[in-house]
Structure 1
């Protein structure tokens, strides 16, 4: 009986791990609050404490060493990224550019939540799975995905411009090299051209002067 109970407990644990991994992977990768199941509009002043508890609980649940689920590494990487960004103090200036960018990303995410909440006029609920909170996250996800697409378009456009500039630089360099090569060849052949010209002019007969008739 004890063995059966252990088997059932292990099966329940595996199921819980698989469900959590699937849930994390279904979240918008840039909605770090959704990944950690934290509502940023309720008790934001206690975020550090909520963050520690949520990350510890979830990291133990979906750590790749704890499960054979092949998607565990991807889910765990998203979880670590979410914890890292949300743990940054967005109110401070950071000398490190990466930290500064991540602090700005955290602040922007909180602002998006607040903006969507003001627009939808939803009731603030402590329950993460409340229908209003679900609606809020859906709207936030749409904005984040739209923003990501716009960034991708801008990156693609910038890359095309950069490639065009590089091609223009290469073309100009080839043209300068060709001109330089032609000028060098012109100078090298100068002596041959002079010799040919002298040989040509020496063969040309000069017109004879007519003799004047002497009158008797």
Structure 2
């Protein structure tokens, strides 16, 4: 193999690794950034084409990068979410809603920064917007994690209360059962006590000599 071909292969390997690193550095739920699409422009026709190009570039079978599979999975999900149309299926609705919510985040960030998304994906304004979107998604993740932990603790507390209530019912049931089992013994003890008292009352008193 001549030097030119060697250099070409090395450049291809570098490009693959760079693309994988770029995808992994992008927030996992910023599907537009993963596919390098501007969300406020007509992107429907770009999704399949960009996915095909990138999937061939970073396919795990062709790359030695240790996290190629993770990057490829993110790429597949990005294509899946962005290309989904609402066909009445519940899962499809969730993906469509997720895509719409992501577009709204981009719009809100753009308004907040008083800038507009331009067609050039690598324009400095777009870079700034994507950085802010990344922060928004990070904050959402943290909030969801807080809610998850809270709900988990609430569920654990509820389960503990139910467990304690069940334990208390069991103890009460055992106590009532024991009380019932000991009833005959208590009755007999009471009768014995009464008999002793009666015998003492009937016992003749000794006469005292004057």
Q: Fold-level match, TM-score > 0.5?
A: yes
Deviation at 1:75, TM superposition (A): 0.5
Runs ≥4 in structure 1, deviation > 4 angstroms?
208-211
Which of 65, 69, 77 is 2:61 aligned to?
65
Which of 74, 77, 82 is 1:81 aligned to?
77
User: What residue number does 2:201 align with?
Assistant: 207
In structure 1, C-alpha distance between the alignment counterparts of 2:125 and 2:27, rounded to whole Å: 18
SS at match of 2:66: coil
Q: Counterparts of 1:1-216 in structure 2 under 5 Å?
A: 2-43=1-42, 47-89=43-85, 92=86, 94-96=88-90, 98-204=91-197, 205-208=199-202
In structure 1, C-alpha distance between the alignment counterparts of 2:52 and 2:102, rounded to whole Å: 22
Q: Deviations over 1:172-212 (max 9, x none)?
A: 0000010001101111111122222222222222424999x
Tell me the matched-pair count.
Answer: 204
In structure 2, C-alpha distance between the alignment counterparts of 1:177 and 1:100, rounded to whole Å: 47
Change (3 A) 1:191 1:210: closer
- TM-score (ref. length: structure 2): 0.90
In structure 1, C-alpha distance between the alignment counterparts of 2:5 and 2:203, rounded to whole Å: 130
Kindly indicate whether the alpha-carbon contact (under 8 Å) linking 2:38 and 2:117 is maintained by their aligned counterparts in 1: no
In structure 2, C-alpha distance between the alignment counterparts of 1:124 and 1:192, rounded to whole Å: 89
SS at match of 2:61: helix
User: What residue number does 1:214 align with?
Assistant: none
Deviation at 1:152, TM superposition (A): 1.0
Q: Deviations over 1:105-133 (max 9, x none)?
A: 11100011111112223244221111011
In structure 1, C-alpha distance between the alignment counterparts of 2:104 and 2:126, rounded to whole Å: 16
Task: Could you tell me which runs of 5 or more consecutive residues in structure 2 were left unpaired when the two chains were aligned.
Answer: 206-210
- TM-score (ref. length: structure 1): 0.88
In structure 2, C-alpha distance between the alignment counterparts of 1:124 and 1:157, rounded to whole Å: 37
Q: Deviations over 1:22-59 (max 9, x none)?
A: 0000001111100110011122xxx2210001100111
SS at match of 1:73: helix
